[in-house]
Structure 1
Amino acid sequence: MFYFRVSALLPIFYLSVFLFSTQVHAFCFKEAGERYGVDPLLLIAIAQTESGLVPTATNINKKGTPKESIDIGLMQINSIWFGQLSNEWGITRKDLLNNPCQNVYVGAYILALNIKKNGVNWKSIGAYNAGFSDKTEAARIKYAKKVYNFYIQLLSKNRDIVIANASRGVLVK
């Protein structure tokens, strides 16, 4: 008869959870891109710019305003969206932080709204981070250039490998 300790299976369990979540994560960039008509590589370039591909990234902003805001997750979803996401779709701040796939979908949705409002251009991409206000034009341009530089790097590589690497949090060099 074969006996084993449950603790001996834990490393296998954790490895399978990691591998499964990695596959789901890679799937999310592709699916979110298809759902919202955005190139998955562009979503990865934004995630790389926003969070360095760290799913649990959280940042507090005090951009010269009396009220601070918070950015969370891979796509650094800003707290200005929390009310709408909760009211319309039942998506909570905790969901955005603990579910990288949902975070990518929300980021793709926000980018698609920008594109719908202003067209397919770098202003729409810059507005993902800085908004469309005339006051934030310099920040919008600076952000768009960062995303553009990552995006160009990604386009020069094998798409499937880039998406797989992004799913594991591997930055493009």
Structure 2
Amino acid sequence: MRVGIKKTISFLIIVFSPLPSNASLVPVSHCYYQAAKDYGIDADLLIAIGIKESRLNNHAINRNSFDYCQMQVNRTHRTELEKFGINPVELTNKPCACIYTGAWVLAKFFKQYGVSWNTVGMYNAGARNTPRLNKIRQNYSNDVKAIYTVLKQNRNKASNP
């Protein structure tokens, strides 16, 4: 894991650590937890994907692959998203719309292919079965799993001092 990712993870552990019951949630972190609840996906998995995709930069745009916002939602979903009034401008300007859209994409993959790390890799590389895409999927899911593991370990430390 690169040093930059480790620093990002450390920062995020602080940001996403459980808060006292009388504290209010950071609005964007609340979006991760609510989207996770609504789609039946672990919030830490969504956060790990957001870290891997953009380091949670909601204005991130990959002009080569046409991915938008912190969840790097690909334009292949554009036609379907437009039916809901969601477009790239909305994704990059509204973090919660971005997070919910990313959760929706992942939930669709989970529904079609089952819940697995390979399916997490499909979030980035799609579902086509080619040696090149299989390798990209594997590398991506390994990175997300490493970030997810660190998030879980630090949450466990925080709740079991």
Distance in 1 between residues matched to 2:27 and 2:109, nearest whole Å: 26
Measured after TM superposition, the shift of residue 53 of structure 1 is 1.1
Partner of residue 145, structure 1:
142
The Cα of 1:23 is off from its aligned counterpart by 2.3
Stretches of 4+ moved more than 4 A in 1? Answer: none
State the partner residue of 2:115. Answer: 120
2:55 to 52, 55, 64: 52
What does 1:153-172 align with in structure 2 at a 5 Å threshold?
153-158=150-155
Which of 103, 106, 118 aligns to 1:108? It is 103
Please, which of 11, 24, 29 is the counterpart of residue 26 of structure 1? 29
Percent identity of paired positions between Structure 1 and Structure 2: 36
Matched, 1:132 2:127: yes
In the TM superposition, what is the alpha-carbon distance from 1:113 to its structure 2 partner? 0.6
Once the two structures are superposed, what CA deviation does each residue of 1:72-129 show, in whole Å capped at 9, x if it has no partner? 101000111112101x201111100100111000000000011111111011100000
Q: Distance in 2 between matches of 1:131 and 1:52?
A: 21
TM-score by length of 2: 0.78
Q: 2:73 aligns with which of 77, 83, 86?
A: 77
CA distance in 2, matches of 1:92, 1:58: 13
Give 5+ residue unaligned stretches, structure 1: 1-21, 62-68, 162-173
> SS of the residue aligned with 1:113?
helix
TM-score for the superposition, normalised by structure 1: 0.73
- 1:16-69 deviations in whole A, cap 9, x for unaligned? xxxxxx8221110000000100001000000000001111111122xxxxxxx3
The total of aligned residue pairs comes to 131
Q: Considering only CA atoms, is the larger Rg found in Structure 1 or Structure 2?
A: 1
